[in-house]
Structure 1
Amino acid sequence: MAKTETLTADEMVAQADTGGRNVVGFQAKLIIGLCIVWSLFQLYIASKIPGVLAQATGVSFFANVVAQARFVHLAFALTLAHLAFPLFGDKNRIPWYDWLLVAISIAATLYLVVFRFDIATRPGLWSTTDLVMSALGMVALMIAVFRSLGLPLVIIACAFLSLAFFGGYSEWIRNLTNFGGASFSKAMGHYWMQTEGVFGVALGVSTTMIFLFVLFGAILDRAGGGNWFIKVAIALLGALRGGPAKASVLSSMMTGMISGSSIANTVTTGTFTIPLMRKIGFPAEKAGAVEVASSTNGQLTPPVMGAAAFLMVEYVNIPYIEVVKHAFLPAVISYIALLYIVHLESLKMGLTGLKKPGRRIGVLMILILFITGFLFMAGITFLLVLFRGLMDPLMGGDSIGAALVLLALAYLALVYVASRYPDVEPDDPNAEEVSAPRLTPTLLGGAYYALPIFVLVWNLMIRTESLDRLSPALSAFWAAVVMIVVALTHRPLKAMFRGESTFAREASAGFVDFVEGLIMGARNMISIGVATGAAGIIVGTISLTGAHQIIGEVIETISGGNLMILLILVAVLSLILGMGLPTTANYIVVSSLMAPVIVTVGAQAGLIVPLIAVHMFVFYFGILADDTPPVGLAAYAAAAISQGDPIKTGIQGFSYDIRTALLPFLFIFNTDLLLIDVGLAKGVFVFVVSLVAMLLFAAATQGYFIAKSRWYETVGLLIVTFMLFRPGFFLDKIEEPYNTQVGPAALTAISEAPAGAPLRLTISGPDFDTGEIADTTIQISPELDGDAMARLDPYGLTIMEEGDSLLLEEPFPGTPYFEQIGNNYDFYGDTPVTVSQVQLENDRLPKEIFFLPALLLMFGIAALQWPRRTQAPF
Structure 2
Amino acid sequence: MKKDKSETSTSGGTPQDTGKENKFSFEKFEKAEVSEEIQKEAAGKYRRLHGFPRYLAFGVAVLTTLIVFYTAFAGVFLPMIQRGILICSMFILTFLWYPTTKKTKFDRDKVPVYDWIMVAMSFFCLFWTLSNNTRFLTRIPFSSEVKTLDYVVAIAMVLMILEAGRRTLGLSITVICTSFIAYAFLGPYCPAMFKFKGITLKKFVEQTYLTTEGMFGSLTGMAATLLFGFLAFGTFLQASGADKFFMDICISLAGKRRGGPAKVAVISSAAMGTISGSSIANVVTTGTLTIPMMKKTGYSPEEAAAIETCASTGGQIMPPIMGTGAFILAETVGVPYSSVCMQSIIPALLFYIAIYFLVDLMASKKKLTGLPSEEIPPLSKTFRAGGIFFLPILILVVLLVLGYTPFRSGVGCTILIFLLAQARKETRIGAKRFFEALENCAKGIMSIAGVIFCASLVVSMINITGLMMKTTAIILSFSQGKLWITLLLVGFIGYLLGMGLPIGTSYIILATLSAPALVELGVPMLVAHLTIFWFTQLATITPPVCMTAFAAAGIANAAPMKTGFTALKIGFTFYYVPVLFVYSQLINGTWWAQCIIAVVAIVAIYFLGTFTERYFMGELGRISRFGGLLIFLLLYYAMFDSATWVMRGILTASSAAIILAMYTIQRKKQQSSQHSA
Q: Same fold (TM over 0.5)?
A: yes
1:47 is paired with a residue whose SS is helix
Match of 1:315 among 309, 312, 332: 332
Whether the aligned pair in 2 keeps the contact of 1:659 and 1:698 (CA below 8 Å) is no
Q: Which residue of 1 aligns with 2:415?
A: 481
1:86 is paired with a residue whose SS is coil
Q: Which residue of 2 aligns with 1:764?
A: none
Match of 1:438 among 378, 381, 388: 378
Pick closer, same or farther for the CA change 1:200–1:570 going to 2, 3 Å.
same
Shift of 1:486: 2.2
Distance in 2, matches of 1:287 and 1:199, equals 43
Whether the aligned pair in 1 keeps the contact of 2:62 and 2:439 (CA below 8 Å) is yes
Shift of 1:725: 2.7
Match of 2:147 among 119, 127, 135: 127
Matched, 1:574 2:494: yes
Match of 1:202 among 216, 219, 233: 219
Aligned residue type for 1:93: K
Question: What are the equivalent positions in structure 2 for 1:210-249 lying under 5 Å apart?
Answer: 210-249=227-266
Matched, 1:84 2:101: no
Distance in 1, matches of 2:211 and 2:185, equals 18
Pick closer, same or farther for the CA change 1:730–1:165 going to 2, 3 Å.
closer
Distance in 1, matches of 2:543 and 2:99, equals 26
Aligned residue type for 1:572: F
Match of 1:33 among 59, 69, 72: 59
Matched, 1:452 2:392: yes
Aligned residue type for 2:486: L
Pick closer, same or farther for the CA change 1:635–1:23 going to 2, 3 Å.
farther
Aligned residue type for 1:459: L
Distance in 2, matches of 1:589 and 1:14, equals 32
Distance in 2, matches of 1:141 and 1:583, equals 18
Matched, 1:859 2:657: no
Matched, 1:118 2:135: yes
Pick closer, same or farther for the CA change 1:730–1:684 going to 2, 3 Å.
closer
Aligned residue type for 1:641: I
Match of 2:406 among 440, 455, 472: 472
Matched, 1:652 2:566: yes
Q: Which residue of 1 aligns with 2:77?
A: 63
Distance in 1, matches of 2:500 and 2:36, equals 18
Whether the aligned pair in 2 keeps the contact of 1:575 and 1:621 (CA below 8 Å) is yes
Pick closer, same or farther for the CA change 1:334–1:852 going to 2, 3 Å.
same
Question: What are the equivalent positions in structure 2 for 1:751-762 lying under 5 Å apart?
Answer: none
Distance in 1, matches of 2:63 and 2:630, equals 57
1:338 is paired with a residue whose SS is helix
Whether the aligned pair in 1 keeps the contact of 2:185 and 2:199 (CA below 8 Å) is yes
Question: What are the equivalent positions in structure 2 for 1:548-627 lying under 5 Å apart?
Answer: 548-600=468-520, 603=521, 608-627=522-541
Shift of 1:276: 0.9
Matched, 1:108 2:22: no
**Structure 2, unaligned runs of 5 or more:** 1-33
Shift of 1:868: 3.5
Matched, 1:72 2:5: no
Distance in 2, matches of 1:107 and 1:249, equals 47
Pick closer, same or farther for the CA change 1:575–1:490 going to 2, 3 Å.
farther
Task: Report the RMSD for the aligned CA atoms in angstroms.
Answer: 2.4
Match of 1:643 among 545, 557, 560: 557
Distance in 1, matches of 2:173 and 2:254, equals 41
Distance in 2, matches of 1:219 and 1:249, equals 23
Distance in 2, matches of 1:557 and 1:868, equals 54
Pick closer, same or farther for the CA change 1:172–1:456 going to 2, 3 Å.
same
Whether the aligned pair in 2 keeps the contact of 1:12 and 1:637 (CA below 8 Å) is no
Match of 2:620 among 705, 709, 731: 709
Shift of 1:523: 0.8
Pick closer, same or farther for the CA change 1:720–1:714 going to 2, 3 Å.
same
Shift of 1:561: 3.8
Q: String of CA shifts for 1:493-512, please: whole Å, max 9, x gaps.
A: x7xxxxxxxxxxx85x5444
Question: What are the equivalent positions in structure 2 for 1:288-687 lying under 5 Å apart?
Answer: 288-357=305-374, 435-462=375-402, 469-487=403-421, 489-492=422-425, 509-600=429-520, 603=521, 608-670=522-584, 672-674=585-587, 676-679=588-591, 681-687=592-598
Distance in 2, matches of 1:119 and 1:247, equals 53
Aligned residue type for 1:439: L
Aligned residue type for 1:491: R
**Structure 1, unaligned runs of 5 or more:** 52-61, 358-434, 463-468, 495-505, 736-843
Task: Name the TM-score, length of structure 1 as normaliser.
Answer: 0.69
Distance in 2, matches of 1:633 and 1:110, equals 39
Pick closer, same or farther for the CA change 1:485–1:273 going to 2, 3 Å.
same
Q: String of CA shifts for 1:278-330, please: whole Å, max 9, x gaps.
A: 11122212111111110111111111212221121122221111111110001
Whether the aligned pair in 1 keeps the contact of 2:35 and 2:555 (CA below 8 Å) is no
Q: Which residue of 1 aligns with 2:8?
A: none
Q: Which residue of 2 aligns with 1:267?
A: 284
Q: Which residue of 1 aligns with 2:48?
A: 22
Q: Which residue of 2 aligns with 1:754?
A: none
Question: What are the equivalent positions in structure 2 for 1:682-701 lying under 5 Å apart?
Answer: 682-701=593-612
Match of 1:47 among 50, 64, 73: 73
Q: Which residue of 2 aligns with 1:378?
A: none
Whether the aligned pair in 1 keeps the contact of 2:583 and 2:640 (CA below 8 Å) is no
Pick closer, same or farther for the CA change 1:452–1:356 going to 2, 3 Å.
same
Whether the aligned pair in 1 keeps the contact of 2:586 and 2:593 (CA below 8 Å) is no
Q: String of CA shifts for 1:154-198, please: whole Å, max 9, x gaps.
A: 1111111112111133462577xxx41110110121012211112
Q: Which residue of 1 aligns with 2:13?
A: none
Shift of 1:450: 0.6
1:579 is paired with a residue whose SS is helix
Distance in 2, matches of 1:525 and 1:669, equals 36
Q: String of CA shifts for 1:480-534, please: whole Å, max 9, x gaps.
A: 12112223x1334x7xxxxxxxxxxx85x54443333222221111011121011
Distance in 2, matches of 1:652 and 1:174, equals 40
Q: Which residue of 2 aligns with 1:287?
A: 304
Whether the aligned pair in 1 keeps the contact of 2:396 and 2:410 (CA below 8 Å) is yes
Pick closer, same or farther for the CA change 1:512–1:454 going to 2, 3 Å.
farther
**Stretch deviating more after TM superposition (135-144 or 708-717):** 708-717
Aligned residue type for 1:150: G
Shift of 1:267: 1.4
Aligned residue type for 1:540: S
Match of 2:208 among 178, 183, 191: 191
Whether the aligned pair in 2 keeps the contact of 1:104 and 1:140 (CA below 8 Å) is no
Whether the aligned pair in 2 keeps the contact of 1:659 and 1:697 (CA below 8 Å) is no
Distance in 2, matches of 1:326 and 1:269, equals 27
Shift of 1:142: 0.6
Pick closer, same or farther for the CA change 1:666–1:13 going to 2, 3 Å.
farther
Q: Which residue of 2 aligns with 1:9?
A: 38
Distance in 2, matches of 1:728 and 1:239, equals 35
Pick closer, same or farther for the CA change 1:208–1:715 going to 2, 3 Å.
same
Q: Which aligned runs of 4 or more in structure 1 are off by greater than 6 angstroms?
A: none
Distance in 1, matches of 2:366 and 2:268, equals 23
Pick closer, same or farther for the CA change 1:108–1:868 going to 2, 3 Å.
farther
Aligned residue type for 2:67: F
Aligned residue type for 1:30: L
Distance in 2, matches of 1:14 and 1:677, equals 48
Identity fraction in percent: 32
Q: String of CA shifts for 1:114-134, please: whole Å, max 9, x gaps.
A: 211123343333111111110
